[in-house]
Amino acid sequence: MIDKAHDEKRQGEAFAPFKSDSTAWRKKFYIESYGCAMNFADSEVVASILNKEGFGATGVAAEADLILVNTCSIREKAEQTIRKRLTDFKKIKKNKPGTLVGVLGCMAERLKAKFLEEEKLVDIVVGPDAYRSLPGLVEEAESGQKAINVLLSRDETYADISPVRLNSNGISAFVSIMRGCNNMCSFCVVPFTRGRERSRDAESILNECRELFENGYREVTLLGQNVDSYYYEAPQTLPSGNGGAVTFAKLLEKVALISPFLRVRFSTSHPKDITDEVLHTMTRYANICKSIHLPVQSGSTRILQMMNRTYTRQWYMAKVDRIRELLPGCGISSDIIAGFCTENGEDHKDTLSIMEYSNYDYSYMFFYSERPGTLAQRRYVDDVPQKVKKERLAEIVEMQNRLSLESNQRDLGGTFEVLIESSSKKSDENWMGRSSQNKVVVFPKANHNCKPGDYVQVKVDSCTQGTMMGKIVSTIPSFVNDTI
Ligand code: 5AD
Ligand code: SF4
């Protein structure tokens, strides 16, 4: 299953520039990204800023004048992987003196100047809100100084920067709609690395989505740490300032109205913030995908309280009921943490049972990793032994595997509208795409004259836990049928 929020397969992915890029760039940069989709979207903003300064992307680190790593701090393991990567780049630097290495993103924000002191190989450190200053910092570093900007901002959204789409399938794109997070979940480092929550100008989001659609894209995923608290009021002095405030439900509607051929997804929703207004908007537009990522984190009310999630087990279950009532057949997925501070066997059972109750199609599952500076690190003892954390995580994974398989089995015999994304990885004879519910569907190209970006109706006849297989029964999109 392809994770929209935190794709394991994409960790460490480097930009592969389009082959057709014939621009004579002044210098070359290489960028490798870790972490969530927000971080990958940020790398596209960075690429855009660097392009303007005459830097072109290369997919080969050894070829670059500037090597950038866009980092993640969410778990200790992510930071360890990145540290190891930085030592690889040290070798390149040795062979090619003058190569600059920069650390961007959440780990840069968390460790700040420590990076320059400890890691002798790093020349530039830039936090998530300071990417506009990158060209200046590169110049400083070129003159032999250590360059750093980790200032967080209250209003930076990079609204006016048109991200450079690289490594894209040309069909689906991420669009950042807000930055930062105000939730203060006690386990989470994000409020410290990405700062206060702020929403991006609605008009700039719509323009970006329209432009993507005009360039052949057929799916946008609206991104934010907590999309349901999106709220934008245009300043009164602007012509767009008379339209009133834009809530997330309104924004979803505006994006959906661009074209019935443009699918809209969003991630991530906080269970406390997703409103009936959003659910009703989803019912009204076929092109708003019926899939909600609703991280539960734990099924125990006591643990949820310690996590500062601000909802109880019962409240979460009622939210799931409401989604099932208003949007029957809607996909629901989750994030789950095993072994948070003081978690006992009963709490763990509560997590397993809420997974079963919610019937998640898929989940991202982790064991708790204490992060320096978080509320949990300051308030609680990380007292669940590693062995127990791993055992519980294994049980959670086993439960999810069963639920995913059962979910796919329930869909056998059904016909689903699939947006074709690419040839399947395993065989060029097959297409791969996704259903509105975000399930991966693979089917033979056969004699149908289809291409990526087309909508087809696929009848599903077999499945594994992660993929559904079927055959095309019609190449006419349902929304076209509706209007005939
Ligand atoms: N330890 C383990 N998992 C974490 N997450 C966030 N912080 C931690 C941590 N300290 C998980 C949460 C979140 C997802 C992106 O990562 O489940 O939703
Ligand atoms: Fe994304 Fe959080 Fe990792 Fe930062 S720490 S890159 S916000 S997952």
Give per-residue pLDDT as tens, 247-306.
Answer: 999 999 999 999 999 999 999 999 999 999 999 999 999 999 999 999 999 999 999 999
Residues 443-461: tens digit of each pLDDT: 999 988 999 999 999 999 9
What separation in Å is there between the alpha carbon of 181 and the centre of ligand 1?
14
Count of all residues that appear for the chain in the document: 484
- Distance of CA 175 to CAs 171, 221, 290, 404, Å? 13, 6, 18, 28
Which ligand 2 atom is the nearest neighbour of the CA of 6? 8
What is the model's pLDDT at position 13? Answer: 84
**What is the per-residue pLDDT across 39-65, written as a single tens digit (0 to 9) for each?**
999 999 999 999 999 999 999 999 999
- Nearest atom within ligand 1 for CA of residue 5: 15
Q: Which residue among 8, 189, 223, 226 has the greatest number of ligand 2 atoms within 8 angstroms of its CB, and so is best to mutate? A: 189
pLDDT of residue 3: 42
Between the CA of 189 and the centroid of ligand 1 the distance, in Å, is: 9
Question: Which tokens belong to 404?
Answer: 């995913």
In this predicted model, which residue has the larger pLDDT, 448 or 231?
A: 231
Quote the tokens at residue 62. 């050894």
Mutate which of 73, 196, 197 to test ligand 2's pocket (most atoms within 8 Å of Cβ)? 73
Hey, whose CA ends up nearest to atom 1 of ligand 2? 36
68 touches 102 (CB < 8 A): yes
- Distance (Å) from CA 106 to ligand 2 centroid: 6
Distance 187 CA to ligand 1 centre (A): 7
CA of 295 to the centre of ligand 1 (A): 10
- pLDDT at position 483 is 47
Q: Which atom of ligand 2 is nearest to the CA of 70?
A: 6
Report the range of poorest mean pLDDT among 17-21, 131-135, 160-164.
17-21
Q: Which amino acid makes up residue 358?
A: S
Edge-to-edge order in the sheet of strand 263-267: 172-176, 219-223, 263-267
Q: Which two tokens stand for residue 416?
A: 């689903």
Site to substitute for ligand 1 among 186, 187, 396, most atoms within 8 A of C-beta: 187
The pLDDT of residue 118 is 72
Structure tokens at 158: 């990079």
Q: Decide if pLDDT at 21 tops 90.
A: no
Digit-coded pLDDT (tens) for 174-191: 999 999 999 999 999 999
Ligand 2 neighbours (beta carbon < 6 A): 35-36, 38-39, 72-74, 105-106, 189-190, 193-194
State the Cα–Cα distance between residues 449 and 471, nearest whole angstrom.
Answer: 14
Residue 119 pLDDT grade (very low, low, confident, very high; cuts 50, 70, 90):
low
Considering only CA atoms, which of 292, 283, 285 is closest in space to residue 227?
Answer: 292
**Going by C-beta distance under 8 Å and a sequence separation of 6 or more, which residues neighbour residue 214?**
none
Tell me what the mean pLDDT of segment 130-135 comes to: 97
Q: Ligand 1: which of 335, 368, 393 to mutate, most ligand atoms within 8 Å of CB?
A: 335
What pLDDT score was predicted for residue 14? 83
Q: What is the pTM of this model?
A: 0.94
* Cis peptide leading into residue 268 (ω within 30°): yes
DSSP 200: P
